[in-house]
Chains A and B, each alone.
Chain A
Amino acid sequence: MAVLSQDEFFAKLTDLFRSHEGKDHGEIFLTQKRFTGNNTSSPSAPAAITSEPLEPAPILIRATDGQSKEDRASKVKISTLVQPDDLDIFYTRYAEVCRSGMTTLKPRDRTKRKKNKKKKVGGGGAGQTSMRAVE
């Protein structure tokens, strides 16, 4: 699993989200963790909780479509490294890609409009009843 550059990662992540558009099921996993290289791959001494400040290290970002073993041939699994200096730029773009890709979540505007319509038509709600009581 080669580590991609940020531009390649975003391009593939956009493709990954797009491939899920119109489907009625599926999952996308995005993971982030501190990248400390291969030399510390076995965290055998985990007990020490140190208060010492950490050395800056890159963040490893992974994205996968969570395909099981049978579909491993078609599995999408991408990753990139983000240097500490690039975090802000990366996450701004990352948030944009995710927001535009997650199309099945509830949009904000529609719910607001519905609420307003209900208020106008129904005239229900606790606030308005209290207003009537005052009048």
Chain B
Amino acid sequence: MPTYAKSEDWLLQSSLLLEARPETTRITTRYTIRPNIRRTKKSAADNTTTTPAPASKTPLPPRGDLELKTYDPVSGVVLKYRTVKLAEVGRLMQLLGSHLARTQAGVPVREVGGDDELLPDATPAEGSGVATPVVGAVGDKPAAGAAGGGGKGKKKKGKR
């Protein structure tokens, strides 16, 4: 049950799975709202013995996250991707339609402008329609690492 750190990886593996089993695979998008509790900050304050900020008086706004899950009940393959960024939602939902839903519907995937970086990854998928390598390519990296990586890229761009 791999959770991919990059949406590109998730999309590639999901499209592979959908091409292999388009009739049974389903995609679930789960939007979760959780109360915002500053557990990590409290523990950090205990370790470093700094004075904890009295921010707990004002309740923090709840946090949400979005989890995309591709599941095929026949082979039992589950592919996941998690994000907390609102900026990604529009792009991801568009990809659900332009790439994955088209595969599900049996309509040829049309190239959409603006998603050009994803297409070179997605095109070799057409040759191999096997679902099993999906499980082998486990990328169990935590999502936090991916977020950090994305941040670095943005910073570099800004400095140039």
Which residues of A are at the interface with B, using a C-beta cutoff of 8 A? 20, 23-34, 36, 40, 43, 46, 49, 51, 53-59, 82, 84, 87-88, 90-92, 94-96, 98-99, 101-108, 115-116, 125, 127-128
State which of A43, A87, A105 has its C-beta within 8 Å of the C-beta of B64.
A105
- 6 additional A-B pairs beyond A105-B65, A105-B86, A115-B158, beta carbons within 8 Å, are A27-B30, A27-B31, A49-B21, A84-B106, A98-B29, A115-B155
Question: Using Cβ atoms and an 8 Å threshold, which residues of chain B touch A27?
Answer: 30-33
Tell me if B61 and A30 are in contact (CB < 8 A). no
How far is A55 from B105 in the complex, measured between Cα atoms in Å? Answer: 8
Tell me if A87 and B105 are in contact (CB < 8 A). yes
A-B contact count (CB 8 A): 157
How far is A21 from B60 in the complex, measured between Cα atoms in Å? Answer: 14
**B131 close to chain A: CB less than 8 A:** yes
Question: Using Cβ atoms and an 8 Å threshold, which residues of chain B touch A58?
Answer: 105
Question: Using Cβ atoms and an 8 Å threshold, which residues of chain B touch A20?
Answer: 33
